[in-house]
Structure 1
């Protein structure tokens, strides 16, 4: 029996636009790969951009309306919607990593990033369902596509992708999520807080996965991790990496201050 390639399955998931269907497709790719129903073959290229639904409307980051701090129900809905969009885009970021760089890094790399994609799909589904219980839905508010800009910018180099996506963008989630959890708890929204606690736990593992592969690449290239990370972030990240940092979560993810700066 001839099985389809893992690259073809990943590409099909990335080109699925409807949000719930994309989440299901990502989890299906992971199950099929784990069960041996996909071959380790890269006979198709990854799309330059994944399919997106008609909603939410995508705006430039500087055109996004200001969100509240999450105290009111309206503010909490806006915050949950923004987080759902981040998780939705993160599905494609993880899929793209597996499909774009899997040939060079091997089957375990594919497994690891398909696991991340399945986690992101679960996170998105939890947040989308929570929006529904609050009388809203994913797509009801505008969002921006800045996260995918990072994928375009780093499509040529795995080290750059790892330096920017898990080690900057996802790591920032480790910094801000605990404060967000506290805001939801203070507002009495314990259900949303529990969802974010689950997401935070998983994201520590995701950042650790990216950091581990980045360190392996540095070792192979004979590069200093802090020096290479700093160079790649300066070259490919349009923003600043600034405190406050969640030092305990970052250390759990292998992304210590020493690794980022080279200072012991």
Structure 2
């Protein structure tokens, strides 16, 4: 299987490295292109066998699956680059949430999917969010899910939920890491505990809490109830958190959705010359 990656920024390079480390792909299976060729060549030098190409078309023409790992405003240019040489048997995968399946199906005569990865895939964990167009058949879906199963749990979702599931899966690690950072920094400031120790304790706590939800089948509410003895220290602190964070996550979701809709309008205007309401 030949797999191409157009764009090797943060998420493109993460996917390549994760697929190689997990054994899902070997370097010789992969060809890459990037706006800056030197960056593509540097990655190829790190993983002998990867083919760094000068053009997007060179990547696409010999690939069974092509991942488009570029920013929303770059999609039209990339699609125009590969459109003349793509055939109906190839699979094109966008990892960019504001680019709709319909945008790509309207331009490319091939199998189309959108898969939203997460930084957690770097440690072969978390979900990969799979969104399929009408153009892709069952064997194509199974091929993609088998590939991503090496580094994640593939979850099939409706495109209308793209933004909110991306918030939870892809943006979520940054949000949770922010709260972890605040928790650790406050512990250091208030008590003088060494930062390294506080971070080690808090990080293991976060890992264990995730396992309670996943492997232990406990809900977040059940965990709070088990830890927070009525009238105890944790219960008192939870009251503070409930009071001080009231509505903040609603605001967070409204913020991400507003930016998504802004990007979606720009992408649709680039592809279609008109604006649409966000998915």
TM-score exceeds 0.5: no
Tell me which structure has the larger Cα radius of gyration: 2
Q: Which has the higher strand share?
A: 2
RCO comparison, higher one (Cα < 8 Å, 6+): 1
Which protein is richer in helix relative to its size? 1
